[in-house]
A and B are shown apart, each in its own frame.
Chain A
Amino acid sequence: MAKNIFKNAIKKAFSKDALTIYFVIAIYAVISVMLYGGFASRQLTNMLISVSCYIVLAVSLNLVVGLLGELSLGHAGFMSVGLFSGCLFSMWTVDLLPMIVRLPLSMIFGGLFAAVVGFVVGLPALRLKGDYLAIVTLACGEIIKNVITNLEITGGALGLTTNNSDAFIYSKPKELLPYAIVLVLVTVVVMMNIKKSRHGRAIMAIRDNRIAAEATGINVTYYKLIVFILAAFFAGAAGVLYGHSFANIKPATFNYNMSIEILVIVVLGGMGSINGSIIAAIALRALPEMLREFSDYRMLAYSILLIAIMLLNSNAKFNELKSKMSLKNILSLLKTKKAKKGGAKQ
């Protein structure tokens, strides 16, 4: 019995999910050493927080697009709701609370605010399916942007200034990195755990066959809403972090282009794949920074990328190649080789 528990613990420690977490921790460990040791270049330092935010955004959007199978094009809208509400909360409490309490609290506040907006938007929108839902979420994102642009409390079109002398919440990457690490890890763990629970199975069942899921006793509307709210919550929390890393945030930044950017990350990383989203977020955020000269062509490149992925994924030969090259397959090949060697020795 004790041996069994031990075995299970080992199995758990080397499961695919655990490996993802180790992978994230390892990346952040290297980066932290570089950052706090003073080896990191300015470029890398400036990129860190934004890449972390994009990982959270992509992983949370993956819950909607990859697991639930609905296209949402308003993720940047939810992010900006969280960002502005969270940052305002942070500004109001800047004199009262130290950063270690204030930032997590404002993340939760921003996340909850975004979740409420996600609920309000989702309630009517989730009666729609496919293209219609995509268009409605797209419109909602734009509406959110325009509302925030016209609000006085968020500074209007000029945006929110975070390094005001009376409400100074702007923080350097060095200060923000620990929070970013925790946020990314929490998001990744929550998403992975949900995927492997009865709720995750219900969500994936809805994606695979809505009618059958309903007939099997799953409350489709409830789960669609939960997914929408959860995704909005994490997008909002990521927004708060994002907001703290800029001296000035303009609402116009969080437009439809940004939603598409997040979607491109999800699609490139693979629908439903959390590892993929993380890697794609790093790649797609790091590349534009390195190829600054060609930044005018970024959206063009994204569209070409989307089309290419679409074509490749519907190509049987490419899929065959992909499954051959997958980590799982390579590992199993190694195992059989070992087994063969073992057999030869005997």
Chain B
Amino acid sequence: MNNSYEHKPKLVPYPSNAFVPERDIGKRPVLEVNHLGIDFGGLTAVDDFSIIVGRTEIAGLIGPNGAGKTTVFNLLTNVYHPTRGSILVDGMSTAGKSTHQVNHMGIARTFQNIRLFSNLSVLDNVKVGLHNSMKENFFAAVTHSFGYGKAEKKADAQALEFLDFFHMADLANAPAGSLPYGAQRRLEIARALATSPKIILLDEPAAGMNPSETAELMENIRRIRDNFGIAVMLIEHDMKLVMNICEGICVLDHGKVIAKGTPDEIKSNPKVVEAYLGKAKEA
């Protein structure tokens, strides 16, 4: 009879499919996404999406067209608010935050179709990225005094550093809209980096690039991780790029994760092959 008062907790190991690079062991992952999902009316665009990205991991998100990859990015940056699931950036939940607040928390992104401030100069584009790290208040801005000059000078120097990182400091004063395609892509990354993120999301960074430009991009992505010590997550269709630089890869099909693992595991996964090429006919 007294059994009901006896305290007998039973714990089971929580199934965690968290993979992070070896060097990130022991550090809190920069991004933890649990069972994320969104419905547009009756359509489930993304369902049960979970991923963990390590501190300095280069993660890949691949999948056939219409799999919901960009939707995942939009969910991570709260452009769409998820119907289900949770997102933790460096341990903090982004629920209920607006897009700019998510940026303050440490997620920066680029866009599939380049979105630059095309009427502003290249330098000013990066300086917009520095907006929140600049402390000049409205009064200083209106009067151009009280630390305005100092703040602007510092921002100029910082912005030039970011441009120099992508070897485009000489283009600083050109209007952003006049840049060639590859430079526009790089500028978008520079602008995202200027917001001092913890993780940067790149949406098809190699789209429309020739092989030599793609090679340069791969080098740049590695340099971003090494120099800034941040994580990179990218959507890409160029398999050569993905297999060469990504450490963890997540494959999405019809809004669902069908495979996760290292490049080698993904390459040999029959489900992935099926999603991309279709089912093999039974002989």
Contact = CB atoms under 8 A, between A and B. Distances in A.
B141 A216 contact: no
A213 B77 CA distance: 13
Contacts of B118: 208-209
A220 B155 contact: no
A192 to B, nearest CB: 9
Given A214-B103, A216-B131, 20 more contacts: A193-B143, A194-B142, A197-B142, A198-B136, A201-B120, A201-B127, A202-B131, A204-B119, A205-B117, A208-B120, A209-B116, A211-B79, A211-B111, A215-B103, A216-B128, A217-B104, A218-B128, A219-B98, A219-B100, A226-B138
Interface of B is mostly: helix
A207 B117 CA distance: 8
A220 B120 contact: no
A304 interface: no
Contact of B131 (A194, A208, A217): A217
Contacts of B77: 215
Interface string A197-240: 11111101101110111111111100000100000000000000
Interface string B156-190: 00000000000000000000000000000000000
Interface in B124-139: 124, 127-132, 134, 136, 138
A151 to B, nearest CB: 33
Interface string B46-74: 00000000000000000000000000000
A215 B131 contact: no
A200 B117 CA distance: 13
Interface string B175-215: 00000000000000001100100000000000000000000
A217 B195 contact: yes
**For the complex of A and B, 10 pairs with smallest distance between CB atoms:** A197-B141, A217-B103, A212-B115, A208-B117, A214-B99, A205-B128, A205-B117, A209-B115, A198-B134, A193-B144
B128 A201 contact: yes
Interface in B97-124: 98-100, 103-104, 108-109, 111, 115-120, 124
Contact of A216 (B134, B144, B155, B195): B195
B142 A214 contact: no
Nearest to B135: A198
12 contacts: A196-B144, A197-B136, A198-B155, A199-B138, A208-B117, A211-B111, A211-B115, A214-B79, A217-B100, A217-B104, A218-B128, A218-B131
Contacts of A128: none
A280 B59 CA distance: 55
A205 B108 CA distance: 16
A200 B138 CA distance: 10
Contacts of B140: 197
A216 B117 CA distance: 11
Contact of B103 (A200, A205, A216): A216
A190 interface: yes
Contacts, number: 97
Q: Interface size bucket, A side?
A: 20 to 34
B90 to A, nearest CB: 16
A209 B117 contact: yes
Contacts of A218: 100, 128, 131
A190 B144 CA distance: 9
A88 B129 CA distance: 45
A195 to B, nearest CB: 10
Q: Chain A CB within 10 Å — which of B111, B116, B142 has the most?
A: B142
Nearest to B149: A8
Nearest to B118: A208
Nearest to A197: B141
A198 B142 contact: no
Nearest to A195: B141
B175 to A, nearest CB: 11
A216 B136 contact: no
A140 to B, nearest CB: 25
Contacts of B130: 198
Interface in A23-57: none
Nearest to B137: A199
A204 B120 contact: yes
A5 to B, nearest CB: 11
Interface in A154-203: 190, 193-194, 196-202
A215 B109 contact: yes
A164 B185 CA distance: 66
A59 B271 CA distance: 62
B129 A216 contact: yes
B122 to A, nearest CB: 13
Contacts of A208: 116-120
A196 B145 CA distance: 12
Given A197-B141, A198-B141, A217-B132, A204 B100 contact: no
A216 B191 contact: yes
Contacts of B144: 193, 196-197
Nearest to A214: B99
Contact of A215 (B108, B120, B138): B108
Given A216-B192, A217-B100, A201 B124 contact: yes
Contact of B141 (A193, A205, A213, A219): A193
B108 A200 contact: no
Nearest to A217: B103
